């Protein structure tokens, strides 16, 4: 079914590296380095390709209709399969796992998966940093259960405070008040600080930059602005809809909210950190269009269907599900471990940097990318 959702790119600039299976497997050492000396440390796991929102920049209603061919339950990785794959990634150096979707809270009994993953330990014996990104629609009823199951951090997508604009963005008439209730419930459950992500799309919600900043500037949460990205093929991305982070900073300064830079907590973080000069609130900027950060990317993504993707803008993935469902390897993870090793060590992805260097490449007619709702953000 999935093969119908994208067309593999033919432009060699973006072609995925090919590799052959080694005949002499090497043991996992807790350290994997790709072709640009980037170390693997983050695993993002999509647990469902479904969502209860139809955000225009991710799952526009015109494409994701009621008849859209979502994956069948048998095509999804089971919780046990997810944990098995995660353990191998951890042996290769992963220290952070983030659960994504679609909307992860739509996956039945998701707290059971959280509990299973929270028991895993890094090669150094530390608890895995376990996080989740959610649209917040179901967070009020799930926050405490998720905390008790062992979830460490939550990121909530919130593209507007104004109810009319928020409903236009999610395109299912969902009220912003319910998401705000979810944020409050998560804070009360012990998730603090939360990260609040706002995708800024010029002409759609850019007028919400000042209101949402004022709302969160005296709260413990971290507000992050994300440039509208050309992820997938369905969102009709255009360069003139991107509001660069530098312009957002100027908008805030002009509104009496100047910012001061903070040191990065991790050199592989996607967001640059800032804080208000006249308040304690922290703000982040994810600027993959105007300031590509491919040089430090440490993330690999596991799709709902069990395919590993080495870039958010990839056109194809590597099938891990077939390995773990092959009776020949039912009790043997060696081939899976070696496959993961070779996937990462062959990695050359740097799409955002290439796009930044040569804008004409984004117009290539054969360049098709996987949808964000399938691969996770």
The CA distance from 183 to 179, in Å, is 6
Percentage of the chain beyond pLDDT 90 is 70
Predicted confidence at residue 19, as pLDDT, reads 47
Beta strands in the chain (DSSP E): 42-46, 96-100, 129-134, 153-157, 195-200, 222-227, 259-261, 272-276, 282-286, 299-302, 307-309, 318-319
The CA distance from 46 to 71, in Å, is 12
Assess if residue 235 is contained within a domain.
Answer: yes
Predicted confidence at residue 5, as pLDDT, reads 35
Average pLDDT, the chain: 89
Angle of helix 176-189 versus helix 139-149 axis, rounded to 10: 20
Kindly report, residue by residue over 15-50, the tens digit of the pLDDT. Answer: 444 444 445 668 888 999 999 999 999 999 999 999
Report the CATH number at residue 111.
3.20.20.70
Kindly report, residue by residue over 241-256, the tens digit of the pLDDT. Answer: 899 999 999 999 999 9
Cα distances (Å, whole numbers) of residue 272 to 154, 211, 283, 352? 18, 21, 8, 16
Residue with the two structure tokens 């991305």 = 237
pLDDT band at residue 57 under the 50/70/90 scheme: confident
Assess if residue 87 is contained within a domain.
Answer: yes
The CA distance from 104 to 106, in Å, is 5
Rounded mean pLDDT, 145-153: 98
pTM of structure: 0.90
Kindly report, residue by residue over 155-185, the tens digit of the pLDDT. Answer: 999 999 999 999 999 999 999 999 999 999 9
More confident residue, 9 or 52: 52
Assess if residue 232 is contained within a domain.
Answer: yes
The CA distance from 133 to 236, in Å, is 23
- CA 279, 281, 284: angle at the middle one, nearest 5? 130
**Strands of 282-286's sheet, edge to edge?**
259-261, 272-276, 282-286, 222-227, 195-200, 153-157, 129-134, 96-100, 42-46, 299-302, 307-309, 318-319
Assess if residue 268 is contained within a domain.
Answer: yes
Cα distances (Å, whole numbers) of residue 313 to 6, 265, 300, 337? 12, 25, 12, 24
Domain count, the chain: 1
Q: Among 183, 104, 180, which Cα is nearest to 149's?
A: 104
CB 30 within 8 A of CB 123: yes
Predicted confidence at residue 24, as pLDDT, reads 62
Q: Among 14, 80, 23, 28, which Cα is nearest to 340's?
A: 28
CB 191 within 8 A of CB 147: yes
Task: Classify residue 291 as exposed, middle or buried by CB count within 10 Å of its CB (0-12, 13-18, 19+).
Answer: middle
Q: Which residue range forms the structural domain that includes residue 42?
A: 31-375
Kindly report, residue by residue over 59-97, the tens digit of the pLDDT. Answer: 889 889 989 999 999 999 999 999 999 999 999 999 999
Assess if residue 16 is contained within a domain.
Answer: no
Kindly report, residue by residue over 235-291, the tens digit of the pLDDT. Answer: 677 888 899 999 999 999 999 999 999 998 888 888 999 999 988 889 999 988 888
pLDDT band at residue 229 under the 50/70/90 scheme: confident
Assess if residue 188 is contained within a domain.
Answer: yes
Query: What tokens were used for 230?
Result: 């050309």
């Amino acid at each position: 079914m999935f093969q119908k959702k994208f067309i593999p790119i033919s432009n060699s600039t973006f072609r995925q590296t090919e590799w052959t299976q080694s005949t002499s497997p090497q043991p996992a050492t807790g350290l994997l380095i790709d072709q640009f000396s980037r170390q693997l440390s983050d695993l993002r796991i999509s647990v469902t390709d479904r969502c209860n929102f139809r955000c225009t920049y991710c799952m526009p209603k015109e494409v994701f209709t009621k008849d859209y061919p979502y994956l069948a339950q048998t095509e999804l990785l089971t919780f046990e399969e997810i944990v098995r794959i995660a353990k191998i990634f951890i042996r290769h150096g992963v220290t952070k796992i983030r659960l994504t979707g679609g909307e992860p809270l739509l996956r039945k009994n998701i707290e059971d998966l959280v509990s299973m993953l929270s028991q895993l330990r890094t090669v150094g014996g530390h608890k895995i940093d376990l996080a989740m990104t959610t649209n917040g629609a179901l967070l009020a009823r799930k926050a405490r259960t998720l905390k008790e199951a062992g979830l460490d951090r939550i990121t909530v997508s919130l593209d507007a405070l104004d109810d009319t604009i928020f409903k236009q963005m999610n395109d299912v008439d969902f009220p912003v008040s319910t998401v705000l209730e979810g944020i409050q419930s998560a804070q009360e459950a012990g998730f603090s600080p939360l990260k609040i992500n706002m995708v800024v799309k010029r002409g759609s919600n850019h007028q919400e930059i000042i209101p949402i900043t004022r709302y969160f500037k005296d709260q413990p949460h971290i507000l992050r602005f994300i440039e509208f990205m050309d992820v997938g093929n369905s969102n009709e991305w255009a360069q003139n809809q991107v509001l660069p982070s530098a312009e957002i900073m100027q908008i805030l300064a002009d509104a009496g909210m100047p910012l001061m830079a903070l040191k990065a907590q991790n050199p592989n973080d996607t967001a640059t950190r800032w804080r208000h000069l006249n308040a304690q609130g922290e703000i982040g900027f994810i600027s993959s269009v105007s300031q590509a950060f491919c040089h430090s990317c440490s993330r690999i993504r596991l799709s709902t269907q069990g395919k590993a993707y080495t870039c958010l803008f990839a056109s194809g993935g590597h099938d891990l599900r077939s390995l773990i469902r092959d009776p020949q390897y039912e009790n043997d993870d060696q081939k899976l471990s070696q496959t993961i090793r070779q996937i990462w060590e062959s990695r050359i992805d740097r799409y955002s940097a290439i796009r930044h260097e040569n804008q004409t490449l984004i117009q290539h007619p054969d360049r098709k990318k996987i949808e964000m709702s399938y691969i996770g953000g």
